Structure 1
Amino acid sequence: RFAHETGPNCSLVVARAVPWTHFGTPCDRSLPCVDIHPYTVQHSQYAMFLVNETDAVLLPAARTGEMVKLLGWNLPPEQMHLVHEHWKDFPAPPYFMHLLLALIYFVLMNLSLIGNGIVVWIFTTSKSLRNGSNMFIVNLAIFDLLMMCEMPMFLVNAFSERLVGYETGCAIYAALGSVSGIGGAISNAVIAYDRYRTISNPLEGRMNRVQASLFVLLTWLWTLPFTVLPMFNIWGRYIPEGYLTTCSFDYLTDDSDTRVFVGCIFAWAYAIPMVFICYFYTRLFGHVRQHENMLKNQARKMNIESLAANRNVNAEAAEIRIAKAAFTIFFLFVCAWTPYAFVAMIGAFGDKTILTPFFTMIPAMCCKIVSCLDPWVYAISHPRYRQELEKRLPWLGIKEAPDNVSTTESKQTVVSEPPANAET
């Protein structure tokens, strides 16, 4: 923001995009503690003047005498290279905005820690829940907990009104967001594949723990390219964004390299998982509908109206339940990452002027909110998980009926056994 040429008693300050007329006449008393020398030089959009304050970083508003702070006003000059030029023309937000965001993030941090922590605890300590499919739910909860690890850093940044840790802090914050975001997206796709495979082929479609472990490893490997490359400035870079209290990959630099990077990360972290999710849930809906029609036709051929009605109700209930869960999963994914993808694509290919600091803070908050909701969507609807919650945390007031599937299977087994004296 400022270029300093320091002398013994004064410094030459170059203030960007501030017309020289904003500084009034020489010795303007509306500028406290600043003695403007009797000349002012106009050069393009820069105003040059001599002051007796070496740290003069506050600019007066036009003809009002009010001091206006721009974004990055409290960063040392040697760290200003981290801030993109796009943000340097925006006024710094009032302190209460930082406090409001800190309060929201504090609530989200606790909700995420409690919800995802309970998911990891229950699914890893209950023998009845240790199967391949549930490993994906635990994996998603771990990614959400990683996103929660960003929030303490954000609280410190918000109270400080700047990025604490500068380049190192920015890299850590952005890397946590990259791993948790990309990992959560591809985990949603893996869960969609597992649910489709399990329901469409219940006898042979269930994954064992070894197969599930390989898919879990794949989700972590999927996060590496677009986390490591910007961290070490191999391709892309991490920079502050919004109120300069959060960090993400650079989507503002106007060159072909940045645009290609943004296009690739858009496809890798958003488009490909979205295609997988849509494909597998569409196939799942088709399979459920086909199975329902098969039950109706079978009951009609057997001329058993009561069985047809019973099967119809059960099939309809199953379809509605799967439809709700699938739509909720898809809706949460869209709500979490579409705003961020939208901002990144505008920054790289569109009109950057609409990307205000407040506007770019919204996508990050959407991702944090969804990371808190994931355990409720993926785990609370799980009957056996609810039974474990009822057993271990009765004060939650959760009431879950016994597992109907297990009960039905046991009854069918008993009925199918022939009597001991059947042959006599």
Structure 2
Amino acid sequence: MYTNASFGPSMFGHGMMLPQVAEVGDEILGSKIDEDYLDYIHPHWRQYKAPEAYKHFLLGIVYAVIFFMGTMGNVLVLVAFFSNKGLRTPSNLFVANLAIFDTIMMFKLPFFVLNSVVEGQIFGKIGCDVYSLAGAYSGMGAAITNAAIAFDRYRTIAFPLDGRLGMKAALGLVVGTWLWATPFSILPFFEIWSRFAPEGYLTTCSFDYLTEGKSTQYFTITIFVWAYILPLLFIALFYSRILSHVREHEKMLREQAKRMNVKSLSQGDNEKSAEIRIAKVAITIVFLFIAGWTPYALVALLGCFGDRALMTPTFSMIPAVACKTVACIDPWIYAINHPRFRAEIQKKVPWLCFFGPDNNNKNADNKSTTTDASEAKGEAA
């Protein structure tokens, strides 16, 4: 049995741990990993017995479904964006960029299914590193892209006449999202700072948050702030400003309607209503991001600073499923709720019944068409 004295007595202090801790005669987690790769597997994982085959099978099935639905959804969004000139606006460029990051996340999943079959890393260290690199780019890229979408929504709603981003500015921000994701993807890949290592059932990989030492702690805190806290602060800032602007706008309309002795003026503000509708879709995506990535952030912090007695292999696999589920759901939220994307996808794949005609969205489609036309005028800015 593989042990590590640094875990201390707390290793046996929680009942939830005992059923999974390996005993004499049990197959140890990682026993099917090549000997030359064992150094990359932290001893914490090797104190547990190997999970039953059915757990690998069930996770493989879940990931296969996520892969199919997520790939189809993201590809549909990208096909709609690139095939319809009317959709190629600065605002929708961020939607397409998010779909690209989510597609990268989806293409990790076949490797996971293969890893589940062999109950380890089928391609060894290079497979683990590439798997983690894709996850790092897609996770951090999606986070900062959500912030860019929030910024774009704020500019569009708060300054509808002169605040819209032009295509060059949007392209610059998209390039910035890739640059944002690069440092903490490349550094562990080349083992310049930290490294990538297997986790949980040893069929997934992420940055190493278990190795003892100040270097691991500094890296974990830095990536937590860079990839999670800062994007959320940007998102909160811009959406709070949107809500503040909407409240001020509605207050102004009520006061003006009162002076004109009419019931309401808001029904005629079609373009702003369309923008707010799209902003609501974006906010939904943000909440999904928080729900999907908060568990992973907490697991990393727990592994680095907390009580590792809570870090069972099964427990650590739950956040991995959550973040990949979000990357699967994102495109469907946009495809179903964004009027122009919904209409275009309905043309491409009319056999998808939930993309059928929706009379309730007819006016929103017209409003969004007006919005896209206005955005197109600013593409040269």
In the alignment, the residues of structure 1 paired with residue 89 and residue 177 of structure 2 have an alpha-carbon distance, to the nearest angstrom, of 18
**Do the aligned residues in 2 keep the contact of 1:240 with 1:247 (CA within 8 Å)?**
yes
1:396 to 345, 352, 357: 352
In the alignment, the residues of structure 1 paired with residue 29 and residue 60 of structure 2 have an alpha-carbon distance, to the nearest angstrom, of 18
Change in Cα spacing, 1:406 to 1:334, as seen in structure 2 (3 Å) is: closer
In the alignment, the residues of structure 2 paired with residue 360 and residue 171 of structure 1 have an alpha-carbon distance, to the nearest angstrom, of 19
Change in Cα spacing, 1:98 to 1:232, as seen in structure 2 (3 Å) is: same
State the partner residue of 1:253.
211
In the alignment, the residues of structure 2 paired with residue 223 and residue 111 of structure 1 have an alpha-carbon distance, to the nearest angstrom, of 25
Change in Cα spacing, 1:120 to 1:17, as seen in structure 2 (3 Å) is: closer
State the partner residue of 1:207.
165
State the partner residue of 1:405.
367
2:326 to 349, 366, 370: 370
Deviations 1:248-303 (A, max 9, x none): 00101121110000000000100000001111111001111111111111111011
Give the drift of 1:325: 2.9
* Cα RMSD for the two superposed structures: 2.4
Partner amino acid for 2:175? L
Give the drift of 1:389: 2.2
State the partner residue of 1:25.
none
**Do the aligned residues in 1 keep the contact of 2:154 with 2:242 (CA within 8 Å)?**
yes
In the alignment, the residues of structure 1 paired with residue 148 and residue 125 of structure 2 have an alpha-carbon distance, to the nearest angstrom, of 34
Q: What are the ranges of 5 or more consecutive residues in structure 1 without an aligned counterpart?
A: 1-14, 19-59, 410-424
In the alignment, the residues of structure 2 paired with residue 75 and residue 363 of structure 1 have an alpha-carbon distance, to the nearest angstrom, of 23
State the partner residue of 2:101.
143
Give the drift of 1:395: 2.1
State the partner residue of 2:253.
295
Deviations 1:92-116 (A, max 9, x none): 0000000000000000000011100
State the partner residue of 2:30.
72
Deviations 1:137-169 (A, max 9, x none): 000000000001110100110000111121111
1:226 to 184, 190, 194: 184
Change in Cα spacing, 1:208 to 1:61, as seen in structure 2 (3 Å) is: closer
Identity among equivalent positions (%) equals: 47
Q: What are the ranges of 5 or more consecutive residues in structure 2 without an aligned counterpart?
A: 5-21, 372-381
In terms of mean alpha carbon deviation, does 102-111 or 330-339 score higher?
330-339
State the partner residue of 1:264.
222
TM-score, normalised via structure 1 length: 0.77
In the alignment, the residues of structure 1 paired with residue 260 and residue 349 of structure 2 have an alpha-carbon distance, to the nearest angstrom, of 47
Deviations 1:27-68 (A, max 9, x none): xxxxxxxxxxxxxxxxxxxxxxxxxxxxxxxxx955xxxx41
2:74 to 116, 133, 145: 116
State the partner residue of 2:12.
none
Deviations 1:379-404 (A, max 9, x none): 42221222212333222242142633
Partner amino acid for 2:332? W
In the alignment, the residues of structure 2 paired with residue 333 and residue 347 of structure 1 have an alpha-carbon distance, to the nearest angstrom, of 21
SS of equivalent to 2:28? coil
> Structure 1 residue 274 and structure 2 residue 232: aligned?
yes
Change in Cα spacing, 1:337 to 1:406, as seen in structure 2 (3 Å) is: closer
**Do the aligned residues in 2 keep the contact of 1:116 with 1:145 (CA within 8 Å)?**
yes
State the partner residue of 1:343.
299
RCO higher in structure (CA 8 A, sep ≥6):
2
Change in Cα spacing, 1:17 to 1:183, as seen in structure 2 (3 Å) is: closer
Partner amino acid for 2:120? R
State the partner residue of 1:383.
339
In the alignment, the residues of structure 2 paired with residue 176 and residue 113 of structure 1 have an alpha-carbon distance, to the nearest angstrom, of 15
In the alignment, the residues of structure 2 paired with residue 287 and residue 175 of structure 1 have an alpha-carbon distance, to the nearest angstrom, of 39
**Equivalence map 1:54-93=2 (5 Å):** 61=23, 67-93=25-51
In the alignment, the residues of structure 1 paired with residue 98 and residue 368 of structure 2 have an alpha-carbon distance, to the nearest angstrom, of 27
State the partner residue of 2:116.
158
Change in Cα spacing, 1:365 to 1:146, as seen in structure 2 (3 Å) is: same
**Do the aligned residues in 2 keep the contact of 1:289 with 1:319 (CA within 8 Å)?**
no
SS of equivalent to 2:122? coil
Instruction: Answer with 1 or 2: which has the greater Rg.
Output: 1
**Do the aligned residues in 2 keep the contact of 1:240 with 1:246 (CA within 8 Å)?**
yes
Change in Cα spacing, 1:125 to 1:68, as seen in structure 2 (3 Å) is: same
**Do the aligned residues in 2 keep the contact of 1:295 with 1:311 (CA within 8 Å)?**
no
Question: Which protein is richer in helix relative to its size?
Answer: 2
**Do the aligned residues in 2 keep the contact of 1:243 with 1:357 (CA within 8 Å)?**
yes
Partner amino acid for 1:131? T
1:128 to 79, 86, 90: 86
1:107 to 41, 65, 74: 65
**Do the aligned residues in 2 keep the contact of 1:300 with 1:308 (CA within 8 Å)?**
no
**Do the aligned residues in 2 keep the contact of 1:143 with 1:180 (CA within 8 Å)?**
yes
Give the drift of 1:309: 7.6
Give the drift of 1:408: 8.1
Deviations 1:179-204 (A, max 9, x none): 10000111100000001111111111
Equivalenced residue count is 349
